[in-house]
Amino acid sequence: MSTVTPQVDLTPEQRAALVKKSSSAGRAASIARKKATSPIASGIAVLLAVLWTIPTFGLLLSSIRPEKAIKTTGWWTFFSDPQVTLDNYRTVLSTEGASGLGSFFINSIVITIPAVLIPICLAALAAYAFAWIDFRGRNFLFVLVFALQIVPLQVALLPLLTMYVKAGIGGTFWTLWLSHSAFALPLAIFILHNFMKEIPKELIEAARMDGAGHVKIFFRVMLPLLTPALAAFGIFQFLWVWNDLLVAITFASDNTVLPLTAALANLSGTRGTAWHLLSAGAFISIIVPVAVFISLQRYFVRGLLAGGLKG
Amino acid sequence: MDISTKLLTMLLAILLFVAIVGLMLFIAGWTERRSASFVGYVFLFPSILMVSVGLLYPAVRTIFQSFFDAAGKAFVGLDNYHTIFTSPDDLLVLRNTVLWVVVTPFVATAIGLLYAILVDGARGEAFAKALIFLPMAISMVAASIIWKFVYEFRPDQAGVKQIGLLNQVVVWLGGSPQQWIVNSPWNTFFLIVVMIWIQAGFAMTILSAAIKAIPDDIIEAARLDGVTAIGMFRFVTLPSIRPSLIVVLTTIGIGTLKVFDIVRTMTGGNFNTNVVANEFYTQSFRASNQGLGSALAVLLFVLVMPIVVYNIRQLRASEAR
């Protein structure tokens, strides 16, 4: 290993540890260096930060302006003529009426929770088997699961849709739960396996000496040690499913099942000028992942570093 | 279905899942006394079943279907692939996809790298990074809506005010407003901006970690040798973060190849902005052309593969050193 740069074959734990270690060292070094940042450099940094923030800010500000004001004047007129209303949010949050997005919000929650829990549990068990149980065909199966990571999910959609319809569950939540779980498994197993391999062999062997079976070791020894890795992957999968559009509109066509992203995409396509609904709706969909990001930033970055190759 | 029914269905699904896992663990614990290796199969069974039925079989099936006609009945050989590489519509789709994949990774990585260097060790670094990083957390649909609003166009008439920021800036500078996402071929670049906006944060996060990992003694040595800031970047920073740069470029490249949400939300693939992933969706699920849809999915697969292989090779090489 030449450097301590993040690489895809490191576990999230290793990566986080490296990032943490090196960042504190780097910070100490840069303080020691007392490097004089030039005004030009600071200027460019501020410019980039403003460019990156202003589009979101404009839409956020619009979401609290009255419909008529949004449609006739730019959001920057807010500063000379501030008009504030919560009507847009009221309309968008209602579960009734054509423009209510409340029920889609519920759908997103109903889709996401099982689609996160199922693959994590199954992957943890599979990763344990790959890491610590000896059985015939283990290497073959592991290579198979590893290789499946590169399959783009587009390749699976058409035949899966046919299968779901044949099985009589077409268009239900089940199709989304099952699809998201299956698509998540190769990466989840790979990440958790790498993590489990790092746990000292002696720990497992000692437990086996004491007569503990694999089931017991999994629950008593592994799970407590695995919590940070599970959290990192869980957050990554949560955002993936919450933000997904393709899988949702492929398998669900009915408003009773479609998630918020699909409802917003429809609204943006059919009523391109309904900015009072689009702005408020977009913010309701953004709030959840941003809250997750802010409260669990440490795990979030870890999950991202680990999951960059998913898809 | 009302809310309580939906929540109950979800609860039921979770309980069913817990029951299945419980049964599995019971079987595993029961067989363990006879054969430890059997537990391995029990632990693996649900995962292998799901990836086989949910990924492996459908992938093989799609490759097979790509040699059949729209209805999936008659064998047509390579006709679907021939269509992709000869019909004007599909050639445009390919051209656009190439544009996306060439422009997005490099620009996003360059901006991410620049920003990572600029804020490195600065006051308020964490906050400055969060600003660039946040677009990563939100959905591409929401990002598209945010940018659609920036690009919003109002006709250039007396009494009509622009509500989109970009056109207002153009008007302030004395220009006339444009339909940014309608006018081809530049509209594709305005869509690409959205992806760059999202991915720069990813590039910045990983490259920033790589920059901080450069050993201090190397930097000190270079400094004592009187290396300039540009020389420092060229001869110290760049070689040190090379493996991370490749990971970032290839990862963004793979994500860009499969870009769907942005095109779908902003233009629906109209105005000459269509890309492979959106055309795949349209052919498969809107135009009911199973054969062509499958061929496009296979094309995506084939395009992603060399990038992934290159990525893995680079990782191996950097480890061997």
pTM, full prediction: 0.89
A215 and B32: CB-CB below 8 Å? yes
Measured CA to CA, the distance from residue A259 to residue A107 in angstroms comes to 5
Distance from CA of A216 to the nearest CA of B (A): 8
Give the pLDDT score at B318.
Answer: 62
Q: What is the pLDDT of residues A130-166, one digit of tens each?
A: 999 989 999 999 999 988 988 899 999 999 999 999 9
* pLDDT(B89) > 90: yes
CATH 3.90.1150.10 for the A102-307 domain, yes or no: no
B17/B20 Cα distance (integer angstroms)? 5
Is residue B142 classed as helix, strand or coil in its secondary structure? helix
pLDDT value for A191: 84
pLDDT of residue B9: 94
A4, A7, A23, A255: which to substitute to probe chain B, counting the most B Cβ within 10 Å?
Answer: A7
- Which pLDDT does position A86 carry in this prediction? 93
CB B51 within 8 A of CB A145: yes
Structure tokens belonging to residue B59? 């992938």
CA angle A252, A256, A261 (to 5 degrees): 60
Residues of B in contact with A150 (CB under 8 A): 304-305, 308
Q: Is the pLDDT of residue A273 over 90?
A: no
Residue B51 pLDDT greater than 90, yes or no: yes
Lowest-confidence region among A22-26, A172-176, B224-228:
A22-26
Tell me if B140 and A148 make a contact (CB, 8 A cut-off). no
Q: How many CB atoms lie within 10 A of CB B146?
A: 25
List of chain B residues whose C-beta atoms are within 8 Å of the C-beta of residue A125? 21, 24, 43-44, 46-47
CA distance, residue A125 to nearest chain B CA (Å): 5
Residue carrying structure tokens 């153009």: B170
- What is the structure's pLDDT at A159? 96
Q: Are residues B55 and A151 in contact, defined by beta-carbon separation less than 8 angstroms?
A: yes
Mean pLDDT of all residues in chain A? 83
Neighboring chain A residues of B55 at a CB cutoff of 8 Å: 148, 151, 153, 156, 182-183, 186
Mean pLDDT of B130-144: 93
Contacts of A136 in chain B (CB under 8 A): 37
**Is pLDDT of B320 > 80?**
no
B-chain residues near A157 (CB < 8 A)? 58, 284, 297
What is the dihedral angle through the alpha carbons of B31, B33, B35, B36, rounded to the nearest 10 degrees?
A: 100
The first and second tokens of residue A43, run together, are 């200027």
Of A56, A157, A181, the CB nearest to B50: A181
Does the distance separating the beta carbons of B135 and A52 come in below 8 Å? yes
Residue type (1 letter), A114: P
Categorize the per-residue pLDDT at A25 as very low, low, confident or very high, splitting at 50, 70 and 90.
very low
Q: Which among B14, B57, B318 has CB closest to A114? A: B14
Measure CB to CB from residue B205 to each of A7, A62, A304 and give the nearest one.
Answer: A304
- Cα separation, A188 vs B266, whole angstroms: 32
Q: How far is A85 from chain B (nearest CA, A)?
A: 18
3-state secondary structure labels for all residues of chain A: CCCCCCCCCCCHHHHHHHHHHHHHHHHHHHHHHCCCCCHHHHHHHHHHHHHHHHHHHHHHHHHCCCHHHHHHCCHHHHHCCCCCCCHHHHHHHCCCCCCCCHHHHHHHHHHHHHHHHHHHHHHHHHHHHHHHCCCCCHHHHHHHHHHHCCCCCHHHHHHHHHHHHHHCCCCCHHHHHHHHHHHHHHHHHHHHHHHHHCCCHHHHHHHHHCCCCHHHHHHHHHHHHHHHHHHHHHHHHHHHHHHCCHHHHHHCCCCCCCCHHHHHHHHHHHCCCCHHHHHHHHHHHHHHHHHHHHHCHHHHHHHHHHHCCCC
Q: Domain ranges in chain A?
A: 39-85, 102-307
Residues of chain B found within 8 Å of residue A144, distances taken between Cβ atoms: 56
- Residue in B142, B244, B260 nearest the CB of A264: B142
Reply yes or no on whether the pLDDT at B23 is more than 90: yes
Residue-level pLDDT at A11: 46
B248 token code pair:
């970032």
Task: Quickly name the fold that domain B79-320 has.
Answer: MetI-like fold (1.10.3720)
The answer to whether A218 and A123 have CB atoms below 8 angstroms apart is no
Whether pLDDT at A1 is above 50:
no
pLDDT for B30: 86
Mean pLDDT of B17-30: 91
Burial B260-275 (b: 16+ CB within 10 A, else e): bbbbbbbbebebbbbb
B54 burial class (0-12, 13-18, 19+ CB within 10 angstroms)?
A: buried
Length of chain A, in residues: 311
Distance CA B105, CA B121 (A): 25
- Sorted by sequence, the CB contacts under 8 Å of residue A286 that are 6+ apart come out as B138, B139, B142
Query: Distance, in angstroms, between B40 CA and closest chain A CA?
Result: 5
- Per-residue exposure over B99-121, b if at least 16 CB sit within 10 Å of its own CB, e if not: bbbebbbebbbebbbbbbbbbbb
| pLDDT class of A115 with cuts at 50, 70, 90 | very high
Top mean pLDDT of A24-33, A207-216, B77-86 is at: B77-86
Name the helix (H) or strand (E) containing B247.
Answer: helix B242-257
The two tokens of residue A170 are 């077409």
Residues of A in contact with B29 (CB under 8 A): 213, 215-216
Residue of A78, A106, A155, A253 to mutate when probing chain B, most B C-beta within 10 A:
A155
Residues of A in contact with B247 (CB under 8 A): 6-8, 308
Helices A223-243 and A102-132 pack at an angle, to 10 degrees, of 140
Examine the pLDDT at A7 and tell me if it is beyond 70. Answer: no
Q: Could B145 and A268 be called an inter-chain contact, meaning their C-beta atoms sit closer than 8 Å?
A: yes
Interface test with B, best of A48, A144, A217, A295 (most B CBs within 10 A): A48
Q: Which of B3, B30, B32, B138 to substitute to test the interface with A, most A CBs within 10 Å?
A: B138
User: Is B210 close to A74, i.e. CB distance below 8 A?
Assistant: no
Summarised one tens digit per residue, pLDDT across range B246-285 is 889 998 999 999 999 999 999 999 999 999 999 999 999 9
The partner residue sitting opposite B141, judged by closest CB among A5, A159, A245, is: A245
Chain B nearest C-alpha distance from A195 (Å): 17
Give the mean pLDDT of A4-24: 43
pLDDT tier at A26, thresholds 50, 70, 90:
very low
Q: Determine the Cα–Cα distance for residues A219 and A214; give it in Å rounded to an integer.
A: 9
Query: What are the residue ranges spanned by the domains of chain B?
Result: 3-65, 79-320
Q: Are residues B165 and A186, on separate chains, in Cβ contact within 8 Å?
A: no
Is A158 close to B311, i.e. CB distance below 8 A? no
Which among B23, B115, B141, B191 is the top mutation candidate for probing chain A, defined by the most A β-carbons within 10 Å of its own β-carbon? B141
CB B148 within 8 A of CB A281: no
Helix, coil or strand: residue B294: helix
Checking ipTM against 0.95, whether it exceeds it is no
Most confident listed range (A199-203, A283-287, A302-306, B231-235) = A283-287
pLDDT of A205 strictly over 70: yes
* Closest-approach residue (CA) in chain B for A57: B146
Instruction: State the DSSP H helix or E strand holding residue B8, giving kind and residue range, or none if neither.
Output: helix B3-31
Lowest-confidence region among A15-19, A126-130, B161-165: A15-19
The closest CB to that of B39, out of A133, A178, A308, belongs to A133
